Structure 1
């Protein structure tokens, strides 16, 4: 009888384990491929945040996430989420996920957090959270540029109903070297203006919390980042976003430096102030065409050095031959004055793509591409005497 009971218990546990496994959410992102270039042999990547990423990436990158709602009773729920990210150059069959030659890690813990709902009366969307997570990230996909991203380890409350919109507040660790910095992140989203238009406002305060010994070694300045994002839906069959940001000190440096609002430089003592204006979106002027674009202008000024300014423009038109086959074009240009150093360049790419659906955002997407790169100020950008480069290759991108 004991053997029968033990067997029944083992079978029951196995069935419960299988049911639990079936309910786990598996999500992530990946890109990988192969390419060759004319001057450098291997595939190359050149200023992709500024001239566009299509046919301009030379790595293998993936994010693997597992999440599960572990409790849901009496109107209360707890969700546990996790994610590891891996990165290699894709040059060999066996690539260990250890440490690169420069000391950087090939594998990283990106998310491990718990989100709790049902604890704010009459506010089903409001959530409490703590842990390490991607926090309400804002990015331009065609250039892989994150312009508002304060992800990290922290805690907060989000989507709390307040008037016509939702309030979120978080405290997130954002250490600068060995100096502790707390990023105080306050956002108000969902403020409806006119038809299909909404406004999101945000304030980030970089609060430096140095030790007495660190304070004795030098001054550390707090910083402020202000963000306003206007989203217009129903715009030529798609959407358009206009973003205005202003930052001081460590955040000011990031404006022309194309930072995301984290990795705050607490030791910046040069009175940095900066702003940037961003316009980006995706439109569908016809059933056969979709077009993504970005336009960025940013400037940072300092007390004792020259300004840093940058202009970037990228456009990605896609022509759909069918629901699963498209031809993609991408052109990008940037012009930058980095404290007296002139930088500028461009990229042209054409790609034939096979994709999981007709949408601009449909993935997986398998592409065969050819790119032409130009650097207008550095005669040796791609090797001695080479200011231009071409590459051909294949890449796949997926999210799920």
Structure 2
């Protein structure tokens, strides 16, 4: 899958620690996600990239190395309160992940639930965490993300659904990675989720960004916001719609994203993804997306439309061996008449723990081909060979 909240899928107890002030012992769990391997470039470009929706032509055989490694412990107090403490380091030493230093401290938080009798599942947290992340699989795209440090609560039961509220500050990302403190950019995030309808389960998001006196003075008038909704149909298909003002997938103001306080940018994003024949030897994943930019970024117009489509047929020969094929096509269509387009194909022979498409660990041996035709009539071809592993635990 990808760099995201898959960490919760499984964990392995590796040690036991004693909390003497509580008189209890707690297991320390080691969990994580990683992918590492060789990606040999035989063409003009190592990866095939078009647009701003992650790996818009597909991530199979088209993604960088990295991993996330987490230690966590849980324990229960004598009053019944259930606590957890979590620390996570990641290694994404690539410009795709804004991690120039290679190793980042991305989680360091504590949380507790079962402290309100009428809301035993309501979870309170504070610290540094992956926050407000909402992701897609085939293109490895975060259509919402507000990683930072702050606090809030999750899973307040309102009857019709559950409500989350968070307040986070953007962590300074210097040469050493995300190891600093707040840099003056903040977000207020909300999520109303698990709303059952006659067609599926819906989640709703509303997020607002602002700066403090510690923030960049030229950006203090910026007030980005976004709203989004998702519809999950039976766990097999998912529709996404998002509207953003003065922001894209995050309202945490990034000085390098926008050139002045005069920005007047609106972005619409819509996508449909899913799986046919899920869990069977032959299955097909798909994703189509549309993204529209309108308005100004500083003094430059940003009007353009992006279109992308990915399809991935997968066949499991048995509970060890499988063959995947992925094809993608994407276009950036600019208002001034320029156009950038590209295609990518990958065939991958896999060895995995289990015969399902999500079975991991997995070894992959793949070949990727693709081409990008830029609007200045320059063409870049990609031919890459790779061997890698992917695992979550």
Question: What's the TM-score once normalised by structure 2's chain length?
Answer: 0.82
Does structure 1 residue 301 correspond to structure 2 residue 321?
Answer: no
Name the counterpart of 1:182.
186
Tell me which of 332, 336, 339 is aligned to 2:332: 336
Q: Which of 375, 383, 388 in structure 2 is aligned with 1:390?
A: 383
Correspondence list, 1:52-67, <5 A: 52-57=58-63, 59-67=64-72
- 1:28 corresponding residue in structure 2: 32
Q: Which has the higher contact order (CA 8 A, sep 6+)?
A: 2
Q: How does 1:1-400 map to 2 (within 5 A)?
A: 23-39=27-43, 44-47=46-49, 49-57=55-63, 59-88=64-93, 104-174=100-170, 180-194=184-198, 197-210=200-213, 215=217, 220-233=221-234, 239-249=236-246, 251=247, 254=248, 259-264=249-254, 267-284=260-277, 287-303=280-296, 305-337=301-333, 340=336, 341-377=338-374, 387-400=380-393
State the Cα distance separating 1:76 from its structure 2 match: 0.5
Aligned to 2:10: none
8 Å Cα contact 1:180-1:209 kept in structure 2: yes
Equivalent residue for 1:6? none
Query: 1:298-348 CA distances to partner (integer Å, 9 max, x unpaired)?
Result: 111114614032111111111111122111010011100356442111100
Secondary structure of the corresponding residue to residue 100 of structure 2:
coil
TM-superposed CA distance for 1:120, in Å, is 2.0
For normalisation by structure 1, the TM-score amounts to: 0.80
Call closer, same or farther: CA 1:128–1:180 in 2, change over 3 Å: same
CA distance in 1, matches of 2:271, 2:284: 17
Shift of 1:110: 0.7
Partners of 1:21 and 1:169 lie apart in 2 by: 31
CA contact (8 A) 2:38 2:387 kept: yes
Alignment partners' CA distance in 2, 1:189 and 1:152? 21
Aligned to 1:8: none
1:148 to 1:331, Cα distance in 2 relative to 1, 3 A: same
Change (3 A) 1:285 1:30: closer
Structure 1 residue 262, shift from structure 2 partner: 4.2
Deviations 1:71-107 (A, max 9, x none): 4332212100110001357xxxxxxxxx9xx992111
For 1:63 and 1:228, locate their aligned partners in 2 and report how far apart those are by CA, in whole Å. 28
Distance 1:103 1:387, change over 3 A: closer
Max Rg structure: 1
Partner Cα separation in structure 1 for residue 216 and residue 18 of structure 2: 51
Number of aligned residue pairs: give it: 354
Q: Secondary structure at the match of 1:180?
A: strand
Q: CA RMSD in A?
A: 3.0
Q: Residue 364 of structure 1: CA displacement? A: 0.8
Measured in 1, the distance between the counterparts of 2:172 and 2:231 equals 31
Measured in 2, the distance between the counterparts of 1:219 and 1:123 equals 38
Q: Return the alpha-carbon distance in structure 2 between the equivalents of residues 49 and 291 of structure 1.
A: 18
- Structure that is richer in helix per residue: 1
Q: How far 1:160 sits from its partner (Å)?
A: 0.5
Q: Which moved more, 1:30-39 or 1:107-116?
A: 30-39
> What is the SS of the residue equivalent to 2:243?
strand
User: CA 1:52–1:262 in structure 2 vs 1: closer, same or farther (change >3 Å)?
Assistant: farther
Q: Helix, strand or coil for the counterpart of 2:55?
A: helix
